[in-house]
Chains A and B, each alone.
Chain A
Amino acid sequence: MNSLRRFFAIVRKEFRQLVRDRLTFGMIVGIPIIQLTIFGYAINTDVRHLRAAVSDDSRTDLSRELIAMVRETQVVDIIGHASGPRQLEQWIKEGRISVGIVIPYDYARRLERGEDRPAQLLVDGSDPIVGQAAVQVAGLRIPGTKALATSRATDTDERFHAAAVAATAATQQFPINPVTAFEIRLDYNPERISAVSIVPGLLGVILTMTMVLMTAVAIVRERERGTLEMLITTPVKTVELMVGKIVPYIGVGLVQMSLILFLGHLMFGVPVRGSLLHLYLAGLAFITANLTMGLLNSTFAQNQFQAMQMTFFFFLPSILLSGFMFPFDGMPVPAQWIGELLPLTHFNRMSRGILLRGATLSEIGRDLWPLAAFFCVMMTVVLLRFRKRLD
């Protein structure tokens, strides 16, 4: 009886503070809107309008034809003509261009002789996306000839060569005829498709970010303001305090989830092919798991800044290893193990399954129990770690 009274007192108090804290409230609404807009509109995997320059030593109709073809792809914008490959390299180093097109003086003769790769692309390999885009240009073919160009990374840093090398490799491995080359570009193009596949993952990403931070800050703020000293001198029990801190934010999480789904549907037409109820059940488990993570975070952090840093420590692997950014199956096995420990991995699978593939919970329920296990383990650690003392 007393225990329930104390628990509800904390829930009520937390809720009041939450409603009055404009910044937090703004964060709850603002983060989904900003993230959805950025990921939906601004982030575009279809690379276009890379700045490029040409060094044309051939100066023939054939070379001008090639330049025109490259320009037509719209992958690159030719912004200047260089006096030679050296200058192109210099311009890439200075960051003025990302791609340099080198057409040698004997280009026409090479073409006549049917030589493989008569021209060369210099690509800034320090940006992997740019490297990938070079594939499109490098894969261009002049009808009746073999591959047109070979791409070469000019970045001196070895690490960044990979992308450009990959680009070359791609052209070598998958020689494509002119018709299919066109099709690849079309596949890349429609922005709406990438937003639809991103939003279900983004749902989990946004919830991870805000939920972990919310409970972490909710405890640490009390520590910072000195109210925790008052609170732990009362008969309140750790479990009442911790669960009381979680409950209001479950509501926040569900509101956020609804907001993201609504905006995702409104802005990008993200479908809900499965049951909303199943999605919310999955969401509930996921939100609670993350809130508990925030509590654990607060048992280490002494101030709000540290709480932020620790949230980031958790957030970064979540984003990178959960299959949100990179396909889960393509990751090395140890990375997959870590991924399996993260709540976001399991929620991503469920949200994609329910939203896009119309799966039911019974079909993807195997991802539900890891979330429950995560909650139980974290809560136990929190209850063991949190002491009603200052030492």
Chain B
Amino acid sequence: MTDSLPSALAIEAHGLTRRFGSLTAVDRLDLAVSTGTIHGFLGPNGSGKTTTLRMFCGLLRPSAGTASVLGMDIAHKAEAIRRRIGYMTQRFSLYEDLTVLENLQFVGEVQGVPARKRREKIDELLATYRLKDRCGQRVGTLSGGEKQRLALAAALIHEPDLLFLDEPTSAVDPQNRRDFWENLFDICDRGTTILVSTHYMDEAERCHSLSILDYGQLVGSGPPREQIARLGNRVVEVETDTPREAQTALHRAAGVLSVAQLGTQLHVLVAEDAAAPVELVTRAMRDANLIGRVHPARPGLEDVFVAVTVARCKAQHKEAA
């Protein structure tokens, strides 16, 4: 299916900026999302993920920059865009005092789905998202996972070309998260482009491509694997009997960006300009009179995230100094 679609961009943004008073929530963001892919927004709370999604949905106007969604300019074609997108808000936004069926009917009607089509689509969605036996139940009494599936179903009822999901899994358990991602791949397989924001590394890693946001700025982009590969040999692991002392010592060592403890092991990320990471860490251990086994390790997405955010922090410190 995906192959038959034109390889155009579903979303394109240039210098997209949004300020709230003196706060710059989104700062000169450039973005390109290919049609038919799942694109992730990874970033901590307050990094500008929701603001960016809201700008794409036409809920907020950009302070500067341009963006087009499905080939339409967000500044002028907000209504036309709304007809072709689905948006699952961060906070559950269906009516808790209506039943599952009533909510789906309402959203279907408001989205302008014709009656017969609506009935078919609702049946299909209820089956797909295992909500059939919850049909007549008030939404307020559903579990977190059920609410999330219902919200997804409601966002899909008019068969949008583009789906925005704002931290869709923040209120569900790991099993439900896995199932949810399976659903997302099914949706994507049918040709819908998905833009999903998250602060979970494992979810971010599943995306076809990923933008890492920090303080409103784009600090990393590309397919997760490529971003990880770019770290090369910058991650080493240290096995030691005195992990706490070693951590303190390594923190102080020049060229070490971050140290995280995993049981008895230390996961160490070194700076980009360090020539030989294993030697650097070994020397730092020796200088602190600590014994440990140092060996290269496979970097993960978390290392990518730490590398870009810490690098940014250090750059800022330098600027301030």
Please give the residue numbers on chain A whose beta carbons come within 8 Å of chain B beta carbons, in ascending order. Answer: 2, 5-6, 8-10, 12-13, 16-17, 20-21, 225-227, 229-236, 388-391
Contact = CB atoms under 8 A, between A and B. Distances in A.
30 contacts: A2-B112, A6-B110, A9-B105, A9-B106, A10-B110, A13-B106, A16-B97, A16-B98, A21-B97, A225-B96, A226-B89, A226-B91, A226-B92, A227-B95, A229-B59, A229-B89, A230-B87, A230-B89, A233-B58, A233-B59, A233-B82, A233-B85, A233-B87, A234-B82, A235-B111, A236-B110, A388-B59, A389-B61, A390-B60, A391-B59
B154 to A, nearest CB: 8
Looking at chain B's contact residues, is the secondary structure mostly helix, strand, loop, or mixed?
A: loop
Looking at chain A's contact residues, is the secondary structure mostly helix, strand, loop, or mixed?
A: helix
B109 A6 contact: yes
B280 interface: no
B112 A20 contact: no
A236 B58 CA distance: 13
A26 to B, nearest CB: 15
Contacts of B87: 230, 233
Contacts of B301: none
Interface in B152-174: 154
A225 B102 contact: no
Top 10 nearest A-B pairs (CB, nearest first) are: A9-B109, A230-B93, A226-B91, A226-B93, A233-B87, A2-B112, A390-B59, A234-B110, A13-B106, A227-B93
B83 interface: yes
Interface string B10-23: 00000000000000
A391 B87 CA distance: 18
Given A230-B89, A391-B60, A5 B109 contact: yes
B98 A17 contact: yes
A227 B87 CA distance: 12
A94 B149 CA distance: 67
B166 to A, nearest CB: 10
B132 interface: no
B188 interface: no
Contacts of A235: 79, 82-83, 110-112
A13 B59 contact: no
B107 interface: yes
A13 B98 contact: yes
A233 B55 CA distance: 11
A129 to B, nearest CB: 45
Contacts of B94: 227, 230
A2 B111 CA distance: 9
Contacts of A21: 97
Interface in B217-272: none
B213 interface: no
Nearest to B18: A391
Interface string B57-73: 11111000000000000
B199 interface: no
Given A234-B82, A235-B82, A389-B60, A225 B109 contact: no
Contact of A390 (B54, B83, B102, B112): B54
A10 B61 CA distance: 26
